Structure 1
Amino acid sequence: MKLDEIIIAFVQESDELLTNMEDLLLSLESNPQDTEALNGIFRAVHTIKGSAGMFGFDWIVKFSHVLENLLDSMREGKVAANKEIIENLLVSKDYLSSIVKIYTDSTELTEEKIAQGEILLSKLKPFLLNNDSNSEKEIEKNKLETSQEQHQDEVPGIQSKDFHISLRPSKQVFINALDPYSFIKYTNQVGTIEFIKTIITELPDWNLWDPESCYLGFEIRLSSTKTVDEIRKVFEFLEYDSKILILQPNASIEDVVNHLQTLSEDEILISNILTEMKTLTQNELIEVLESFQSRLSGIKTKSLNQFLNKERENTKNDTKLDSQKSVSSTLRVDSHKIDHLINKVGELVVSEANLSIVLQNLEDSTVTESLHSVSRLINEIREISLKLRMVPIGESFNKYHRIVRDLGSELSKKVNLHIHGGETELDKSVVEKLSDPMVHLIRNAVDHGLETVKERLKYSKEETGNVYLNAFHDTGSIVIEISDDGKGVNTEKVLRKAIEKGILSPDSEPSTDEIHKLLFHPGFSTADQITNISGRGVGLDVVQKNIEALRGSIQLFSKPGEGTKFTIRLPLTLAIIDGFLVSAGKDLYVIPLDLVRECVEFKFENENNDTSGNYFNLRGKVLPYTRLDYFFHNEVKKNERENIVITEYQGNRIGLVVDKLYGEIQTVIKPLAKVFSDIRGIGGSTTLGDGRIALILDVADLHESLKNLQGIKFDKVNIDTHEGGALG
């Protein structure tokens, strides 16, 4: 694995850890006694610090180290998890995220960015300095240390004042992207290496060497004022890939014997090395060997060690296996590889369809049966490959807790966010593109939807407002609901604003639903003043466009005094489309099925050729229409029998005149090349089973183009005065 690939892996892991850290901090804020959340936060910071140290990202190490010390004090009960500390930790988490992003973009860490971090650290350090050193826990700790010192005076021990570390990395340590040298070097953060000795007893013959395997062991004498646990944390990443033994200063002879017996090498060899490193004196060495002799009772040292090590290795392997089982349940795969796989599967589906056409006239039952079997397997492969893109939507929902918390604090509102259906799966690309619309709707609910504490109490409501996120599957789509228990939409205010802006005439009498739709009008806002949160008129119209770009829809429901609910309906994946296949002239088109309302036979006499101002009567309602072949500047040939497909977008309907209707089709979408990106009304292409190419219509863009270029008007045509043709 190349270094840049390892750094990318570090960045990805750090992003996941920091996201999880934010969730845990919010959980800790709501329940300061949640020790599991606190431990999870500590592990996240510690892991990032350790990984950053391996790559020489010293500023991340320094910043994380202060966070780690604070979190350690919180775990020991010296610092309370109050609102101020949680706020500072959340800001620190955001800062760490920005630093990690710098390494993602391969940009340099500026002095200004470091200065920002120093300011944050200066806010955290007072909490560390104000720790109560005379707490009961500290007193008990001092008593325990005194007791241990007295006990050590009673038991024969060695004179060394330093720690002795025996490190035996596993052979697979390099394969797991870990370098023991980086960890040894990092021990300088907790002390000073006085002596180091490399153990080479496991080196194989040169012709058996594997360049990706580690055959070395290390004996280290470390001078440090830290505790055993603090030193062991340095090697935390190596725990599953190594044997790590730490001998404390002034350890007993029995501890030394146990230490040596746990190692796989010959005890005499290691004892001599400890003497060479001045961990043991010559007299202590003799005591250790005599202790071995009395303990072994005639059994050969090496034979006994082989037996013990075999048992320990079996236990360790079982532990590693259990750990690997839990880790192996997930696998990180580049999304581009999955996209490539889906494209290839789509081509496979087309090839299978072509083969079916070629073989359909063969009256051979064996071939037919085999073809059906292949078709079934290909369909299963397509379903499986599409599911690879699915991710639980709750992973993206969790970040909204922070948004609600911060916005509620800024607006002096008490808000709870409730999430249901987080396990519901959705295409990853849809989840990513849904983020901005969702953030806007969440902020809208907190800012516009919920009342202040004073207002809620006035209307006999609980002072804490509620925002609800709910996701579920419904008939091949995913439905996401964002609702609140606030004041609801003030229809009178919306109507007044619409009249002020000239959107409606003063004598208009729109229905409640029509008033709600005004909120999606470009530039429309009911805010009385512009703030950093709202009032700039960049709002629900952008949300609607983004959702419709995902082939989705959004609806608003509101009841005064009870709250507002936005309902978003989306396709499960953008990779495939359920469409309606039609032809106009020589070309084939696929119209997204969810935008098709009906198809009827089209008979129109005395039709003009410019298509502007063309309307027809559909059961008493006038609808505009256009010819697809004319719209795309193809040769127009009128057939005796034509059809019109009624499409609906944003509540407005347009008829598309076509020659033939082929029916429903499910197909894989392929994007158009950049050279065709400016063609209006086309969203992609697909290859049909017989090898022909069909263009996928972008109905939203088609409606917009017809509205702007041909002057089509919606909902403003009076059937009684219109003199156009009619459906026969």
Structure 2
Amino acid sequence: MSPDPADTFRQEARDLLEALEQALLDLSQDHGNRDLVDSAFRALHTLKGSGSMFGFDEVADFVHEFETAFDRVRKGLAPISEELVRIALNAKDHVQLLALEPGEHAAAGTPILNELRALVSDGRGADGEEQSPEAASQEESDASAIDAAGWRVRFKLPADAIEMGTNPMLLLDELRELGPCEIVASGEDVTALDEHDPLGRYLGWDVTLRAAVPQDAIEDVFLFLREDMELSIEPLAPETDAEPEPADTPAEVATADAAGAPRAASAANAKAGASLRVAAERLDELMDCVGELVIAQARLSQIAAGSQDVGLTGVAEDIERLAATLRDTTMGVRMVPIGSLFGRFRRLVHDLASDLDKKVEFVTTGEETELDKTMVERLADPLVHIIRNAVDHGMETPEARRAAGKAECGKVQITAVHSGAEVAISVSDDGAGLDSARIRAKAEENGLIAPDAKLTDHELFQYIFHPGFSTAQEITSVSGRGVGMDVVKRAIEGLRGTIELTSKPGEGTKATLRLPLTLAIVEGMLVRVGDGRYAIPLSAVEECLELPASEVAGTSGCNFLDVRGTLVPYLRLRDMFGTQTPADLHQKVVIVGSGEQRVGLVVDQIIGNAQTVIKSLSRLHSSIGTFSGATIMGDGEVALILDVAQLVSSAEQQQRRAAGRHLELAA
């Protein structure tokens, strides 16, 4: 099946619009950066051409006017300002609508373009000073003025230009459209016929352009090739009548990169790092096949282990090695930098700060940290909720920050780091911090805690994740309805992750998400409880102990174990699962952690570690919170995967109930 051209354009447009948005947001922080202006202009220029080529005429027409107005900024005839960035972002959003829903939003673009034209033509120069109309006109004229004799243009395309679809004849036609041209081909790189590569680049071009056009117009012809090609543009002296000199002077033509090598060579080297766009569905199918292969390989290894056939054992070892390599490679293909997600939040913070009349700086670190693409996609909504809360609830107004001795501009920072087999993502702000007293009052008002209950700040903060819980004093368009943080917690736990909050009054709040690298395959510790086998994610396991003899005959429910001077609650999985078979004489305790909390899980036997392919539970079993999925063992049997976050939460609840009963007895 051939891909839909419209879908191809939308995918390309999405990437270009994202690049445009990032450039505009960077410009809002650095008004004088001309490289950012050029980057935004290139994105617009490409978008216009693609829209026209794929039949998205509304996009092409709107972007043409957008580009024309922005060209004044590029030439220094209009200043960069917050207002310009705001209107340009609105224009970018409109282009996105035109691409997604052709024929529905064309009329809505006129006011945006009128506003943009008025702003870039308001009679102010690049320094922001008022100019008379005559001065502004003269400035534009001076910017375009050149020697009437024209230009000498010499160029060679990148080494892979023909292979990538570049047609030099079209470039020459664009130069002819600027004015009369004398064109001479330079063929000193042409090889013998038996060595000729049909997709190779062998010709250079020497063009004498006799027209009074600005140099920018010539550079625009090569706008998307200039970084990798050889290009020389020199004014043509008025008395020049001689024939063009052959382009055989490398010192004049070739431009070198930082290492001293010609840019054409760097383009050839870049070819080795070229990327290929693959549909996400195909990667998912590949991952499913690899998962089935891992299961089949485990069964083969188990059969080979019980066989005396040396040949079968050798084949099983080879398949195990190849399956492991294929598994790691496939998982690596699915890994994407989390920076692709972070970039979306810059616009969110920019718009929220504007709507709430706050000054907020958004900082990201660890953008190169890689995470499974499925995880990245499903993290977007939870992080949006957290960031919105940080800007709305956490960040004070400029006046309040001044009164507290802080800088007017607050900071929201999002950080990602690898932590063992997990990724830790934290969102922090330097705002007012969480109000423990208000949270407690709201929890008591909702009947969640007793007025005399003794709770730590960490325990109080957990009520923020309770459905319908909100301490906002008024409902706004951003927050206050008690919807959000409970959804965040469920979403994170659905990814087999955890979330924890820390806060200091007057200093800010930090939300930390801990997530596995992938949802598909996980290292697990296999344990036995009665006749059943279960898998515990190895990333959550901290240590293993033998259950002391004094605790073997303990009561059911939540008990405590002294681990090097620290009391750790533990759960007897035999009691939780209703196991009827006799318990082993020497039971084991697996200490697992979720956030800052630790809990022990009492099992009959620790079998060992294994790669587990996670299978989702059916809808019939989806409400069972103790398990996050299942896996198929080498012998074909099914083992349930324990949900560590749910077990830790269960231990905390039992601990609170036990403390309540103790207080009642004491009373």
Query: Map of 1:57-136 to 2, 5 A cutoff?
Result: 57-100=56-99, 102=100, 108-111=101-104, 113-131=105-123, 134-135=134-135
8 Å contact kept, 2:498–2:514: yes
Question: Taking structure 1 as reference, are residues 187 and 474 closer, same or farther at Cα in structure 2, changes over 3 Å only?
Answer: same
Q: AA paired with 1:110?
A: G
Query: Map of 1:486-497 to 2, 5 A cutoff?
Result: 486-497=431-442
Bigger shift: residues 490-499 or 529-538: 490-499
Could you tell me the TM-score, scaled by structure 1's length?
Answer: 0.70
Deviation at 1:481?
1.9
SS of residue in 2 equivalent to 1:664 = strand
Q: Which has the larger radius of gyration?
A: 1
Residues of 2 paired with 1:92 and 1:70: CA distance? 11
Residues of 2 paired with 1:141 and 1:3: CA distance? 47
SS of residue in 1 equivalent to 2:460 = helix
Residues of 2 paired with 1:623 and 1:54: CA distance? 65
Match of 2:7 in 1: 8
Match of 1:56 in 2: 55
Match of 2:329 in 1: 384
Q: Does residue 398 of structure 2 align to residue 453 of structure 1? A: yes
The CA deviation string for residues 460-490 of structure 1, in whole angstroms up to 9 with x for no partner, is: 2222212222222222221122212222211
Residues of 2 paired with 1:556 and 1:89: CA distance? 37
Deviation at 1:26?
1.9
Query: Map of 1:338-417 to 2, 5 A cutoff?
Result: 338-360=283-305, 375-376=320-321, 378-417=323-362
Match of 1:197 in 2: none
Q: Does residue 659 of structure 2 align to residue 715 of structure 1? A: no
Deviation at 1:33?
1.0
Residues of 1 paired with 2:159 and 2:309: CA distance? 58
Deviation at 1:686?
2.6
8 Å contact kept, 2:144–2:213: no
Question: Taking structure 1 as reference, are residues 382 and 505 closer, same or farther at Cα in structure 2, changes over 3 Å only?
Answer: same
Match of 1:288 in 2: none
Q: 1:506 aligns with which of 451, 456, 459?
A: 451
Aligned length: 625
Residues of 1 paired with 2:597 and 2:215: CA distance? 72
Question: Taking structure 1 as reference, are residues 130 and 618 closer, same or farther at Cα in structure 2, changes over 3 Å only?
Answer: closer
Q: Does residue 19 of structure 2 align to residue 20 of structure 1? A: yes
8 Å contact kept, 2:588–2:602: yes
Question: Taking structure 1 as reference, are residues 82 and 18 closer, same or farther at Cα in structure 2, changes over 3 Å only?
Answer: same
Residues of 1 paired with 2:298 and 2:535: CA distance? 18
8 Å contact kept, 2:496–2:643: no
The CA deviation string for residues 429-462 of structure 1, in whole angstroms up to 9 with x for no partner, is: 2122111221222221222222222222222222
Residues of 1 paired with 2:108 and 2:173: CA distance? 28
Q: Does residue 490 of structure 2 align to residue 541 of structure 1? A: no
Q: AA paired with 1:16?
A: D
Residues of 2 paired with 1:590 and 1:622: CA distance? 20
Q: AA paired with 1:641?
A: D
Residues of 2 paired with 1:470 and 1:456: CA distance? 24
Residues of 2 paired with 1:123 and 1:79: CA distance? 14
Structure 1: stretches of 5+ with no match in the other structure: 103-107, 153-162, 194-209, 215-221, 263-306, 608-613, 723-728
SS of residue in 1 equivalent to 2:658 = coil
SS of residue in 2 equivalent to 1:641 = coil
Q: 1:322 aligns with which of 266, 269, 276?
A: 266
Q: Does residue 608 of structure 2 align to residue 615 of structure 1? A: no
Match of 1:281 in 2: none
Residues of 1 paired with 2:358 and 2:617: CA distance? 48
Question: Taking structure 1 as reference, are residues 38 and 399 closer, same or farther at Cα in structure 2, changes over 3 Å only?
Answer: same
8 Å contact kept, 2:527–2:607: yes
Deviation at 1:241?
12
Query: Map of 1:539-578 to 2, 5 A cutoff?
Result: 539-578=484-523
Match of 1:725 in 2: none
Question: Taking structure 1 as reference, are residues 168 and 414 closer, same or farther at Cα in structure 2, changes over 3 Å only?
Answer: closer
Deviation at 1:368?
6.6
SS of residue in 2 equivalent to 1:45 = helix
SS of residue in 2 equivalent to 1:148 = coil
Question: Taking structure 1 as reference, are residues 438 and 185 closer, same or farther at Cα in structure 2, changes over 3 Å only?
Answer: farther
8 Å contact kept, 1:626–1:655: no
SS of residue in 2 equivalent to 1:463 = coil
8 Å contact kept, 2:583–2:604: no
Query: Map of 1:194-593 to 2, 5 A cutoff?
Result: 230=217, 233=220, 254=241, 258=244, 320-326=264-270, 328-334=272-278, 335-360=280-305, 375-376=320-321, 378-583=323-528, 588-593=533-538
Question: Taking structure 1 as reference, are residues 244 and 24 closer, same or farther at Cα in structure 2, changes over 3 Å only?
Answer: closer
Match of 2:184 in 1: none
Could you tell me the TM-score, scaled by structure 2's length?
Answer: 0.75
Q: AA paired with 2:656?
A: D
Bigger shift: residues 542-551 or 123-132: 123-132
Structure 2: stretches of 5+ with no match in the other structure: 124-130, 181-196, 202-208, 562-566
Bigger shift: residues 52-61 or 501-510: 501-510
SS of residue in 2 equivalent to 1:519 = helix
Query: Map of 1:127-166 to 2, 5 A cutoff?
Result: 127-131=119-123, 134-135=134-135, 138=138, 141-142=141-142, 145=145, 148-149=147-148
SS of residue in 2 equivalent to 1:566 = strand
Match of 1:641 in 2: 584
Q: AA paired with 1:65?
A: H
Bigger shift: residues 681-690 or 17-26: 681-690
Match of 2:29 in 1: 30
8 Å contact kept, 1:553–1:570: yes
Deviation at 1:124?
0.9
Residues of 1 paired with 2:546 and 2:434: CA distance? 39
Q: AA paired with 1:331?
A: S
8 Å contact kept, 1:394–1:424: yes
Question: Taking structure 1 as reference, are residues 181 and 671 closer, same or farther at Cα in structure 2, changes over 3 Å only?
Answer: farther
Bigger shift: residues 23-32 or 583-592: 583-592
Question: Taking structure 1 as reference, are residues 485 and 606 closer, same or farther at Cα in structure 2, changes over 3 Å only?
Answer: closer
The CA deviation string for residues 328-360 of structure 1, in whole angstroms up to 9 with x for no partner, is: 424134233333333333344344434433443
Match of 1:45 in 2: 44
Deviation at 1:85?
0.7
Residues of 1 paired with 2:478 and 2:449: CA distance? 27
Match of 1:285 in 2: none
8 Å contact kept, 2:365–2:414: yes
8 Å contact kept, 2:42–2:223: no
Bigger shift: residues 464-473 or 614-623: 614-623
Q: AA paired with 1:716?
A: R
Question: Taking structure 1 as reference, are residues 485 and 581 closer, same or farther at Cα in structure 2, changes over 3 Å only?
Answer: same
| Identical-pair percentage | 35
Residues of 1 paired with 2:615 and 2:334: CA distance? 16
SS of residue in 2 equivalent to 1:473 = strand
Residues of 2 paired with 1:674 and 1:212: CA distance? 55
Deviation at 1:318?
7.2
